Amino acid sequence: MKPFVAKLIFGIFLLLIVVSTNALATTKKDTTFNTDSVLKIMKRVGDWQLQYWQTKGFTHKKKDWTNAALYTGLVDLSRTSKDDRYDQALIAIGNEVGWTTGPVRLMADDYCVGQTWSLLYMKYKRPEMIAPFQHLADSIVSLPFDESLEWKNNIQNREWAWCDALFMGPTALAYLSTATGDPKYLNKATKLWWKTTDYLYDPQAHLYARDGSFLNKKEKNGEKVFWSRGNGWVLAGLARVLENMPSNYPDRQKFETLFKDMAGKVASLQQPDGSWHASLLDPASYPIRETSGTGFYCYAILWGLNHGLLDKAQYWPIAKKAWMALITSVQPDGMLGYVQPIGASPDKVNAQSNEVYGTGAFLLAGGQLLEFIHHNQKL
């Protein structure tokens, strides 16, 4: 081989090595979806909440539905991180309020906290953790709940007449059935779930109206009003009821069909950035991400993947984009932004909008993501 040709080949060889080395150096492995990264941001969000309580106190009453939704996420954070601080914070709250529920006996919002009391009882086996709620639940089981669900006469104080209630009431009863081994609470939850569904669920849209006053309301674009967080409450509630439903339970197949129908519809409405806007069918009316609905959808879809109800090829990309939308909404100090304030319909949000139930949804989603990663190492 002539010297010139040999030098040319050698030079090309060196050039290829340099290019390859630079490419490897600049292309770092994406660690967003590994256990350490997910746990790190979950703890950052959870620790921000604990710090907020310590420095500024509680924004809502400790047994309120807002905090009850947060507590569910903190239970998951304690479980997945194996960090006892989160459980201990919840146990301190439970001890302070005597493990009781809210003041309005039959309002689902006011006994949403019962699911957390049951979860803690199953871990720590302290009877006082569920005794007051079980007493209330026994009375709930005994009542007929035979009123119309029309949105009038403060019906929400006596019936599950709004879609949010399907995260608050049936989940609390379902977890109590698991905690006590008594199916009567789950049976009542099932009966009342279908009563609410018969009234508020649109079988063509595969979505729930928020309550009876929204059945005929329309968005600016002429579509029906379907609120993102409202349907997030429902889909997350479905996952949590199914979590406590035996595989041979008579209505399980019906619940699974509803879950899959809703998940399919919700997935089709995801925005390009991975989020869902406050209005599901008129996303342009509030053209910005909303993280409480997004968090509950991410949680429920991942739960469906983890339990074999949803197809991985179809739904993992949806969950992945949703998680990216969530983690890019976390402020450097750990506060989750873009959470729509308390309300009953789509509304405005911004990067500084935060509420405790949004944090709870985020932590629930993270807990399911960790489980998914554990069973799917190659993501």
Give the H or E element holding residue 201.
Answer: strand 201-202
Which residues are catalytic, by number?
A: 164
Question: 3-state DSSP call for residue 144?
Answer: coil
Residue 22 CB neighbour total at 10 angstroms:
10
Measure Cα distances from 144 to 141, 147, 151, 191, 288 in Å.
8, 9, 19, 10, 43
Dmax over CA atoms of the chain, in Å, equals 98
Write b or e for each residue in 196-207: b if 16 or more Cβ atoms lie within 10 A of its Cβ, otherwise e.
Answer: bbebbbeeebbb
Please count the helices (runs of H) and the strands (runs of E) in the chain. 14, 2
First to last CA, the chain: 48
Measure Cα distances from 119 to 122, 176, 194 in Å.
5, 8, 25
Residue 226 identity:
F
Residue with tokens 């709250």: 93
CB 119 within 8 A of CB 367: no
CA–CA gap between residue 181 and residue 307 (Å, rounded): 22
The two three-digit tokens of residue 290, written as one number: 């909303």
SS3 of the chain: helix, strand, coil, percent, to 5: 60, 5, 35
Contacts of 359 (CB under 8 A, 6+ apart): 45, 46, 48, 49, 70, 73, 336, 339
Residue with tokens 């329309």: 218
Question: C-alpha 75: how far from its chain's center?
Answer: 13
CA–CA gap between residue 143 and residue 286 (Å, rounded): 41
